[in-house]
Amino acid sequence: MGFNRFVFNIIFRSLFLALTALGIAFLFKNYEWLFTLIFLSLLFIFQIYLLIRYATKINKDLANFLIHIKEQDTTLAFSKTTIDRTFNGLSKEFEKINLELKKVNDDKIKKQHLLNQLINQVGTGIIILNEKNEIVLQNNAIKNILGLTESNSSALVVKLFSVFENLHSLNFGDQRIEIIQINNLTRRILISLSGIKEDYQTLKVYSFHDIDREMTSYELQSWNGLIKVLSHEIMNTVTPISTVADTLKDCLTIDENPKKIDQLNEKDISDSVKGINLIENRIGSLKNFIIKFRQFSDISSPNIQTIRITDLLNDIIEIYSSNYKNIDFKLKINPSNLIVNVDKELIELAINNIVKNAIEAIVDVESPQIQIKAFRTKKDVQIEFHDNGQKIETSVIKKVFLPFYTTKEEGSGIGLSLARQIMFSHNGNIEFSSGIEGTCVKLLFEDI
């Protein structure tokens, strides 16, 4: 309706101009009507002015609106006189669109604020630069890594390229470890570079990860775990041996003097034999722990050979199913002729540790079950071990691969960390997850 009114207005003004032009042409050579001719000529010029002014006013309002949309400016106030008389209610529609744009702009600001808060919670330093090496986004961690307290952007960029002199030589997707010295501290920083396309330019996203800080934390946890486990194993051996030593002393001495043969009775001999057996048992337990520790700390290079997964898993399951008849072992291999290149003895050791953990997790379960699946994906070959035990807390999951970390009284904390060492030596990986349906451990092998 508004557009029809605009067209009608243009047609009416054009017709009126045409009639005025005809009148001027008719009176052009008739000097008796000179003043009428002058009047019509001035009227013609005035009509042209009004037509141009009318079209220019509408075009100006429309152009201003489109420009403000392009620049995402929601402060535009619309003229309601010319536009509303021509396009009924158009300014109101413009105001609605303007309000929607303002809402979108406010949401964008809120999301930007949320993004800033999120990246400031990350311990990895992040900085995003445009093609002119101007900062688009940064977090507090990058300032901590560079040892800066002020947030001046230019100072931060200068410091960044002075500390990391080879930063310009990084290509997208590259990673590099650089050793830097900040505030008399030497630190190793893992630098990664990726790119983001935005507004017809490529933004450079640098991430700076403080490896030393993470490794120090990891090493401290490992040492604490090792000390705890060693203390536990040593005390478990020393305490009963000390008690047995006192018992043997009572059996074989009188007033700190050795008994004579005729002073020994059957009880003395029986107690002595029991004590010697207990000492032998505890020494054997400590010896087994030392063997496990040596396995973890000194894994031999894999002797790679091609193994059928069916043969590998069937042998292991046969042993456990005969010893744990109450557990339902389920095996599924697809395809049945699936093969991997591994060291059979090392992989069996890793799988045994995983299955033992699964068995311990379902001791108190009403219908204990362990499902083992082997299959090929687009990237690798996987063996999956799933038990129906209780969910493991997230705080524990984060530490399951930490050497010597254990939640069991008699555990060594070596099993899963040893399995991971073995998988790493095969250029593979291991994944651990737990939920309300139980715990799942995955072994990931390179596909042949």
How many whole angstroms separate alpha carbon 194 and alpha carbon 181?
A: 25
Q: Which of 38-52, 70-84, 237-251, 327-341 has the lowest mean pLDDT?
A: 70-84
Confidence of residue 371 (pLDDT cuts 50, 70, 90): very high
Question: Cα torsion at 266, 270, 275, 277 (round to 10°)?
Answer: 150
Q: What pLDDT, on a 0 to 100 scale, did the predictor assign at position 1?
A: 47
The interaxial angle of helices 34-70 and 2-27, nearest 10 deg, is 150
Q: Each residue of 397-414: pLDDT tens digit?
A: 777 777 666 666 666 667
Tell which residue, 113, 114, 158, has the closest CA to residue 135.
Answer: 158
Q: State the DSSP H helix or E strand holding residue 104, giving kind and residue range, or none if neither.
A: helix 90-120
Any residues with CB less than 8 A from the CB of 15 and at least 6 apart, and which? Answer: none
Tell which residue, 184, 194, 186, 193, has the closest CA to residue 211.
Answer: 186
Are the C-beta atoms of 126 and 203 separated by less than 8 Å? no
Residue 2 has pLDDT above 50, yes or no: no
Per residue, what are the HEC states of 57-91? HHHHHHHHHHHHHHCCCCCCCCCCCHHHHHCCCHH
The interaxial angle of helices 266-297 and 415-425, nearest 10 deg, is 40
Q: Is 402 helix (H, G, I), strand (E, B) or coil?
A: coil
DSSP 392: P
Q: Is 15 exposed, middle or buried (0-12, 13-18, 19+ CB in 10 A)?
A: exposed
Task: Taking residues 435-439, report their average pLDDT.
Answer: 87
Confidence of residue 49 (pLDDT cuts 50, 70, 90): confident
Q: What pLDDT, on a 0 to 100 scale, did the predictor assign at position 255?
A: 73
Q: For residue 294, how many other CB atoms are within 10 A of its CB?
A: 10
DSSP 169: G
Are the C-beta atoms of 142 and 153 separated by less than 8 Å? no
In percent, the amount of the chain with pLDDT more than 70 equals: 75
For 439, the token pair is 């715990």
- The most confident of the ranges 126-135, 143-152, 233-242, 392-401 is 126-135
Q: Is 309 exposed, middle or buried (0-12, 13-18, 19+ CB in 10 A)?
A: buried
Higher-confidence position of 343 and 147: 343
Give the DSSP per-residue string, 124-151. SEEEEE-TTS-EEEE-HHHHHHHT--S-
Q: What is the pTM of this model?
A: 0.46
Q: Is 179 exposed, middle or buried (0-12, 13-18, 19+ CB in 10 A)?
A: exposed
Residue 91 has pLDDT above 80, yes or no: no
Q: C-alpha angle 404/408/413, rounded to 5°? A: 15
How many whole angstroms separate alpha carbon 95 and alpha carbon 22?
A: 44
Parallel/antiparallel/unpaired status of strands 185-198 and 175-182: antiparallel
**Tokens 């935005």 — which residue?**
198
Are the C-beta atoms of 370 and 324 separated by less than 8 Å? no
Parallel/antiparallel/unpaired status of strands 257-258 and 253-254: antiparallel
